[in-house]
Amino acid sequence: MIETVASVGLPIDEKLMVQKNRLIPENGLKGGEKRISIVTGTHGDELEGQYVCYELQRRIKENIGCLTGIVDVYPAINPLGIDSITRGIPGFDLDMNRIFPGSENGSMPEYIASNIIDDLSKSAAVIDIHASNIFLEEIPQVRINELSRDTLVPLAKLLNTDYIWVHSSATVLESTLAYSLNTTGTPTLVVEMGVGMRITKKFGDQLTDGIFALMKELGIWNGEVIDPKEPIISEDGEVSFINAGKSGVFAPCVEHWKNVKQDDHIGDILNPLTGEINERISAPTDGIVFTLREYPIVSEGSLIARILA
């Protein structure tokens, strides 16, 4: 059943609608069923979650008899952004994931954010699916604020991702959807995978398998599920960042999600005007490249890679 979570009139004959689809057991609800919510499309250039929303519902509908709880799917909480290939909220140039929990009396983005929070609250679990932006490729991973570690790591392990990153609390994260929900008692897992403006089907299938495993654990699904893979779990101190020291064109010479040794050649920053190498990038430590630059043009400071020691 499709429901409208938030609606705002646009100036000329159009409504902005944030919609969800609710799937329930075929014999209806008896009361007391748990609910899982799948949210994506916060950033209009992150599309990996679109396939997951489709695939999850396709599989549920094929075996609807196995559904024992409620599944709410929100494919686009920034629908204008997705439609116009805009990362933020068009018209405001605002990052939607920096305005939560929003405000009923605030501007249009804050009003929508407030309605979304109200609708998601009290879910047994929320999965907030992000791709990376257009600049970086990420392996499927769950990112967890250290403040929510005890509640979320056991749930995250079921999601069949390769990696769980428990990171420190940064003030900017306090205005995200996940932080707002976690601090008010709704467990919310942030998934990052793939790259912006693309859909990586194998990552989508991998995560969908994991969501079914989590649903089974929560009592929302009683069908067959996979045995989730054992993820690597790490904290900030084990992650090394490589940033560009020069601007130019980044040409990698390592593959994503591969092991490297300290001083291995990661890639070069090329100068197309002079035909010279502006900077040779080397691995600062032994480890796995779990984030790798996808978009070639870099400025001083652009993130090139993250390595998990």
Partner 1 sequence: MKEKIVFELNSVYRDNMRIKGYSFGEGENSACIVGATRGNEVQQLYICSRLINIFKQLEHQGKIKYGKSVMVIPTVNSHSMNIGKRFWSTDNTDINRMFPGYNLGETTQRIAAGVFENISSYQYGIQFTSFYMQGDYIPHVRVMQTGFEDIELAKDFGLPYVFRRNARPYDTTTLNYNWQLWGAKAFSVYTSATDSIDIISAREAINAVLSFLNKQGIIQYRCHEGYISQFIEGHSLISVKSSTAGIFVRRANVDSRVKKGEIIAEIMDPYTGEIADRIIAPQNGIVFFHVNQPLIYSQTPLFRIIPTDDLV
Q: Which residues make beta-bridge pairs with 14?
A: 10
Q: Pick the binder of partner 1 from 19, 21, 57, 107 (CB under 8 A).
A: 107
Residues 6+ apart with CB under 8 A from 220: 33, 34, 35, 36, 67, 68, 69, 70, 71, 124
Residue 106 interacts with partner 1 (CB under 8 A): yes or no: yes
Residue 90: CB minimum distance to partner 1, A: 11
* x/- letters, 272..301, toward partner 1 (CB under 8 A): xx----x------------------x-xxx
With CB under 8 A as the rule, give the number of residues binding partner 1. Answer: 41
Pick 143 or 216: Cβ nearer partner 1: 143
Instruction: Estimate to the nearest angstrom the gap between the alpha carbon of 279 and the chain centroid.
Output: 31
Residues 6+ apart with CB under 8 A from 13: none
Count CB neighbours of 144 within 10 A: 24
* x/- letters, 172..211, toward partner 1 (CB under 8 A): x-xx------------------------------------
Residue 19 interacts with partner 1 (CB under 8 A): yes or no: no
Residues 6+ apart with CB under 8 A from 150: none
Task: Write a three-state SS string for 76-115.
Answer: CCCHHHHHCCCCCECCCCECHHHCCCCCCCCCHHHHHHHH
* x/- letters, 61..90, toward partner 1 (CB under 8 A): --------------------------xx--
Residue 54: CB minimum distance to partner 1, A: 28
Residue 216: CB minimum distance to partner 1, A: 35
Residue 138: CB minimum distance to partner 1, A: 16
Residue 154 interacts with partner 1 (CB under 8 A): yes or no: no
Residues 6+ apart with CB under 8 A from 47: 82, 131, 196, 197, 198, 199
CB-CB contact of 303 with 136 (8 Å):
yes
Q: Which stretch binds partner 1 (CB under 8 A): 12-20, 120-128, 148-156, 227-235?
A: 12-20
Length of the chain: 309
Touching partner 1, residues 224-263 (CB under 8 A): 241, 243, 246-249
What does the alpha-carbon distance between residue 309 and residue 297 come to, in Å, rounded to a whole number? 26
Instruction: Estimate to the nearest angstrom the gap between the alpha carbon of 270 and the chain centroid.
Output: 31
Q: Which stretch binds partner 1 (CB under 8 A): 60-68, 92-100, 158-166, 285-293?
A: 92-100
Residue 16 interacts with partner 1 (CB under 8 A): yes or no: yes
The residues that touch partner 1, with contacts defined as CB under 8 A, are 8-13, 16, 87-88, 91-94, 98, 105-108, 111, 133, 135, 171-172, 174-175, 241, 243, 246-249, 271-273, 278, 297, 299-303
